[in-house]
Amino acid sequence: MKYLKWLLKLSITVALLWWVFSRIDLESVSQAIDKADKWLLALAFVPYLASRITAAVRLTTILQAHRVGLSHYGGLHLHWISMFYGMFLPGGLGGDAYKLLRLKQHFPAQGTMLLTRILLWDRIIGFVMLGLLAGLIGMVRFYDNPFVAAIPALALPGAGVLWWSAKKWLPGIIPVLGRILLLSFGTQVFQIICTGFLLYSMGETGHWADYALLFLLSSIATVFPLSIGGIGVRELVYLRGSVLLGVSEPIAVTVSVLFDIIVTATAVTGAVLVIGERSEALPAADEH
């Protein structure tokens, strides 16, 4: 059954990519990649790697707030291997499932329910920040649209719901909530900077708000595990969004493809840690 689920995700990934690439000029995409500044493409890895570090620190901050003694070094190790499993393992063990398995192995006293809630809230905080930034950029981009007025009107009750939910389901997160939100903000900003490098490498120097909005919306879409690593889903959002926002379709799709390449290449490096993985590979907070 678990392999059938992975094959279904693979089929969806292939189908989405086929649909997207059948509707754009592949020659334009190929030329854009070929003419891109290779140094800037390489530099795009730097902010993406920084985003992975801030994301790992966010989780370990939540864990440490609940007396789960995982160091930031151990959290980074855990995060990198989970990227590999989440992207490539053709079974039922995804990235979050791997994290839960390893955390239960090393910190059994905390209990499965608490660890599951921590991992869930790590995801929720990331999702909230994506929505917040998309809303802010949307307000700037569509300031003359009457429906945009609903965004700030929803902000205060939304913050209240987030606070109440955290206090009810994971109260230990409250003292570090500001720090966690700041780390989430940094994670998304680093990834937006990454896409900026990709755009600049292809000579695209305009429509920054449009491309940033496309990136955030595509990241929201990839939260739902419909395809392998979000590949295909991201390209679909960029393609349809570029039409609505009036930006270049080939450039938009090329950015999504290059970003997926960066994500995949980074996840591949997790294989090195998997090969050398040991039972003592998650050091406690006082060891680093």
Tens-place pLDDT, residues 21-52: 777 777 878 888 888 899 999 999 999 999 99
* pLDDT given at position 152: 72
Taking a C-beta distance cutoff of 8 angstroms, is the pair 285, 71 a contact? yes
190 DSSP β-pair partners: none
Is the predicted pLDDT of residue 266 greater than 80, yes or no? Answer: yes
Closest residue by Cα to residue 120 from 169, 57, 83, 76? 169
* pLDDT given at position 18: 83
Q: 160 in helix, strand or coil?
A: helix
Structure tokens at 284: 């406690």
Residue with tokens 């370990």: 60
250 vs 274 pLDDT, higher one: 250
143-197 pLDDT, tens digit each: 777 777 677 777 778 888 989 999 999 999 999 999 999 999 999 999 999 999 9
Query: What is this structure's pTM?
Result: 0.88
> What span, in angstroms and rounded, lies between the C-alpha atoms of 43 and 55?
19
Contacts of 262 (CB under 8 A, 6+ apart): 44, 45, 48, 194
101-135 pLDDT, tens digit each: 899 988 988 889 999 999 999 999 999 999 999 98
278 vs 219 pLDDT, higher one: 219
What Å distances lie between residue 65 and 70, 118, 143, CA to CA?
10, 10, 39
Instruction: Give the single-character DSSP code of 206.
Output: S
> What span, in angstroms and rounded, lies between the C-alpha atoms of 130 and 219?
8
- The amino acid at residue 183 is L
* pLDDT given at position 230: 77
> What span, in angstroms and rounded, lies between the C-alpha atoms of 210 and 195?
12
Is the predicted pLDDT of residue 272 greater than 90, yes or no? Answer: no
* pLDDT given at position 195: 96
Taking a C-beta distance cutoff of 8 angstroms, is the pair 126, 99 a contact? no
52-94 pLDDT, tens digit each: 999 999 999 999 999 998 999 999 999 999 988 888 765 445 6
Length of the chain, in residues: 288
Domains of the chain, residue spans:
2-278
* pLDDT given at position 139: 86
* Cβ-based neighbour number of residue 125 at 10 Å: 22
Structure confidence at residue 284 as a pLDDT band (50, 70, 90): low
Is the predicted pLDDT of residue 19 greater than 70, yes or no? Answer: yes
112 by Cβ neighbours in 10 Å (0-12 / 13-18 / 19+) ranks as exposed
217-232 pLDDT, tens digit each: 999 998 877 777 778 8
